[in-house]
Amino acid sequence: MAVFNQLCRGFSGLGSRDFLRASVSATALVGCVLPVAAWAQAASKSDVQASDDEISEQNAIIVTGIRASLQGARARKRDAEQVMDSITAQDIGALPDRSVSEALQRVPGVTLQRTSDNRDPARLSGEGGGVFIRGLSFVRSELNGRDVFSAANGRALSFEDISSDLLSGVDVYKNPTADMVEGGIGGTINLRTRKPFDAPGFVAAFSGDINYADLRKKSFLSGNALISDRWDTSLGEIGVLVSYSVSNIGNRTDSISTGRYVPTSVSADDAAASGGSLTEGETVYIPNSMGYRRIDWSQKRTAFDGSIQWRPSDTLTFTGEALISKASPHDLEYAMGDWSQPETYNPSYVYGSAGELVSGVAQNRQLNMDTRAGSQNKKTQDYSFKAEWVPDSHWTFSTDVQYVKSSATVYSMTAFTGVSVPATFDFDYSGNDPKLNIYPTDPSQSFADKSVNWWAAAMDHLEDNEADQWAWRGDAEYRFDNSFLKSIKVGARWTDRHAITRQTGYNWSVLSAQYWLPGNEVYLDQAAPGGPSDLPDQTQFVTFPDFFRGEVGNPTSGLWFPSGSLVNQGTGHAYDYLQATETNGWGWTPLSNDFSETTGGGGINDQTQKTWAGYAMARFGMDESPIGRFDGNIGVRVVHTKAAAVGSAASIGTVSVNCDPTTTDCTDYNTAVAFIAGDLASQETSGKNSYTDVLPSLNLRYFASNNLQIRFAVSKSIARPSFTQLNPYTSLSFSFNPDGTPSGTGVGGRTTAFTGTAGNPDLKPTRATNYDLSFEYYYGRSNSLTLGLFYKDIKDYIFAGLVEQSYTSNGQTVTFDVTRQTNGSHGTIKGAELAYTQFFDFLPGALSGFGFSGNVTYVDSTGGKNTAVNVFDTNQTTNAGLELPLEGLSKWSYNVAGIYEKHGISARVAYNWRSSYLLTTSAANINYPVWADSYGQLDASFLVSVGDHFKIGLQGTNLLTSRTFLRVGDPNLKPRYSWTETDRRVAMVVRTLF
């Protein structure tokens, strides 16, 4: 192990040239794996003995359960012609976890982000959200080797939307071959469904479970069924498979959080009052808010998968497939806090070593409550047809046609109330068990008094997105006999994708009053004249029972919130009641479904993309040569991309000052006035773009022995910009001093009158050169020890930059200094993945059923840039430019699993962990970087075979009730600001197979 440690330390300093030199002398690194591998092989002398769960039939060994899945994954990795890892579900409906994204986190190099939107860390996902490969979000998604995507961004799939019950396995490709579709720098994830010709005959399977969430105190039912058969007919062999899955899941999250920590200078009086614990002029950091929330989340996911195969002759096979997947997550949130209120020194406050506030008592705080309902309806349809012809032992021809259609709607509605009773916050944020008790500052007052509450504000947000694509590819391969050159494969591919994103901003407006306007209340127990008589009934008293499982104390005896029924039935329903609170010219009006009226980077973003690709690849190898056995492939893929975008009309600002030509040079002022008088603001924004990429690849495999193989791979890859980044929407503004002279800041810090913000339809892909070196030792029937080293040289990261851009209106061509997404940053990613799987067959009796599977990943990065999700949000563009690590990149992650497979018992206890990482450069509302602390989760399953056709058992998720901790700030000061508790889930499972 000392050799391994020394080599890994040396690798951490490698550059790209060093990496290549290291790969040439690859045998120097074999020591990283051989010592442990040699011990493991010696320890598994009895691998040739079949266990009780294996059935010998005509010299074949059939294995079921977890061991069979691991064996299948091992075989796919060992026999692949490129660097990859795999998850297999040997048993139908038995992927290791309840969602695809949660299963993927078990793969070396893959990490899972536990929030669906990294900019919204206050709302953690019920299931895993974004998937990262080797610290990168540039991940391409496939279904059976074909494109699949979500309408939410038109590029990648939301893996949590696909039912794991339908899949036979998931493959993670980390360095591509030329015949693979381009688009993933981090890697490509391929979801594989079952086909009727995969089984020798009739198959019928059913599984079901009842899943109990202990914090939510509610059970959810799920089930799936599959029927498959094949027949010999006069027309040839025909196979049909149909599968249907219904998955219901839910959870509750409880959280306590602060806001952004604001630097505050200690005055002389405050220093004196502190009794010497503070000094005058010292800076302390005090959060501008604090509060808590509870979210009840649930999701129904349905999926249908059907396929038909026809083999009219031994040389010709036709396959038609259809997958329709729907997901409809819903959540209801109750949140309370003294949001965004300036804080000053308080003598009860206690500070940490860096000056951050950790405990104290804050009095006379103004409370604000909100109830939020969110829902999404997502649907993905995938239809494909493939024909494969193998006329002889040399030729293989195939053609493939696919149509994908995806849609996603988003609804968010929030109502806010306030209370005129000043509150006291008694808090302690110094440990893992936060304390936040809230009670009236005046003991004679009560939050339960309905008359001291008012309707404060309302906010809605809508999205309606859709995307579709036609794709065709054709491939031909010629295989040679007894030659160094094994085969030549060529192919072409064409796609035509269309994506329309329609979204509004967040439409926030006051109702009767807000916390800075006391005295204008319309109380909850009163109805405005002419308003609905049951307006008071649109509230509910929330007490937050069993908050954090009772481990941190109930934060309050209860508060009045808008009712869930007010906000979860559509904005029109909410407006029927809330319009009665309009007063003094204030009021909230729901958003229109005319998305073209939206500004600020929303509105309608209509994108089209066509690609034409061609490739050539040669496979080669020798079983016997002066250096031994080796094989590999070399090829090149050339792809041309043509894109076009149409967006909402440009936003043109106004000039609100006057310029006196007798005292001031009014040239810029007059130009601005003339520019504004034009019709540019009534025109849709648009853009076109095209580029060609040449993507060579080389994959080599050397067999150092029958059990040890060494791989080297190098390739070029691309990741196209998201359709949001390509949005051509433009907002132009004019910056003048009161006397009419320019006051804006332009490129290089110069002064200009003409500034703006815009999307960029001219963006090019982020491009990378990828290097992999791996050592893979396979021994026994199920065991393996592998080490993978990787290095990625990435350029053209997309980030928000300030550039000069010319626009014409009313005959005036003006150069604006525009903040927009741009290419240009360079960085590197390097790391290592070590994985080990061992079944201890050499142990006696029942002990021989034990096994172990584990992996550890190290990732490091230099350079590169984070990108602002919304370039029109100044907070996002400013923070994305800070010197911060890449979002989502944990330096360390690991998985360990103990396995038992014997005497009809199939059990697994698995722990997944990742180190801390930057979640977002700019969290919503906080507008500052947020970091996730290290997180580990324990899951387990235990199934027992009952006869030949049934399995029953239990599955547990988050058994240790792990908490999620978040921090806010820059790398120099990151106080913990959020504590979140979620459910432990336990499911009773039944599976059948005939």
DSSP string, 667-678: HHHHHHHHHHTS
Quote the distance between the C-alpha of residue 102 and its chain's center.
11
Give the residue ranges of DSSP H helices in 642-760.
667-676
User: What pLDDT is attached to residue 26?
Assistant: 38
CA–CA separation, 11 and 438 (whole Å): 53
**What is the arithmetic mean of pLDDT over 134-156?**
86
Structure tokens at 638: 């050339």
- Confidence label for 487 from pLDDT (cuts 50, 70 and 90): very high
Structure tokens at 519: 């005295």
User: What pLDDT is attached to residue 748?
Assistant: 87
pLDDT reading at 62 higher than 50: no
E strand intervals along 59-194? 60-63, 83-88, 110-112, 131-133, 139-143, 146-147, 167-175, 187-193
User: What pLDDT is attached to residue 158?
Assistant: 78
632 or 824: which carries more pLDDT confidence?
A: 632
DSSP annotation of 441 reads S
Lowest mean pLDDT among 226-240, 244-258, 573-587: 573-587
CA–CA separation, 408 and 412 (whole Å): 13
The domain segmentation of the chain, as residue ranges, is: 66-993
pLDDT reading at 387 higher than 50: yes
User: What pLDDT is attached to residue 9?
Assistant: 42
pLDDT reading at 534 higher than 60: yes
CATH topology of domain 66-993: Maltoporin; Chain A (2.40.170)
Residues 6 or more apart in contact with residue 276 via CB below 8 angstroms: none
pLDDT reading at 97 higher than 80: no
Of how many residues is the chain composed? 994
pLDDT reading at 24 higher than 60: no
| Strand 917-920 to 930-932 pairing | antiparallel
| Segment 721-742, tens digit of pLDDT | 998 889 898 999 999 999 999 9
**Whole-number average pLDDT of the chain:** 87
* Contact by Cβ (8 Å): 590, 566: no
pLDDT reading at 695 higher than 80: yes
User: What pLDDT is attached to residue 185?
Assistant: 94
CA distances from 943 to 519, 903, 987 (A): 63, 11, 11
CA–CA separation, 255 and 918 (whole Å): 19
- Confidence label for 280 from pLDDT (cuts 50, 70 and 90): confident
User: What pLDDT is attached to residue 870?
Assistant: 78
User: What pLDDT is attached to residue 604?
Assistant: 87
pTM, two decimals, is 0.89
CA distances from 90 to 62, 87, 170, 966 (A): 11, 10, 12, 38
Burial 288-303 (b: 16+ CB within 10 A, else e): bbbbbbbbbbbbbbbb
Lowest mean pLDDT among 227-241, 258-272, 745-759: 258-272
- Confidence label for 126 from pLDDT (cuts 50, 70 and 90): low
pLDDT reading at 14 higher than 60: no
Lowest mean pLDDT among 42-46, 289-293, 391-395, 850-854: 42-46
pLDDT reading at 605 higher than 80: yes
User: What pLDDT is attached to residue 341?
Assistant: 61
Residues 6 or more apart in contact with residue 21 via CB below 8 angstroms: none
Burial 812-851 (b: 16+ CB within 10 A, else e): bebebbbbbbbbebebbbbbbbbbbbbbbbeeeeeebbbb
DSSP annotation of 878 reads H
CA–CA separation, 840 and 837 (whole Å): 10
* Contact by Cβ (8 Å): 456, 523: no
pLDDT reading at 39 higher than 50: no
Bridge partners of residue 943, in order along the sequence: 906, 953
> Residues 566, 567, 573, CA angle at the centre, nearest 5°?
65
846 or 269: which carries more pLDDT confidence?
A: 846
pLDDT reading at 258 higher than 80: yes
User: What pLDDT is attached to residue 801?
Assistant: 87
Measured on CA atoms in the order 549, 555, 558, 559, is the torsion positive or negative? negative
User: What pLDDT is attached to residue 882?
Assistant: 78
**What is the arithmetic mean of pLDDT over 935-959?**
93
- Confidence label for 50 from pLDDT (cuts 50, 70 and 90): very low
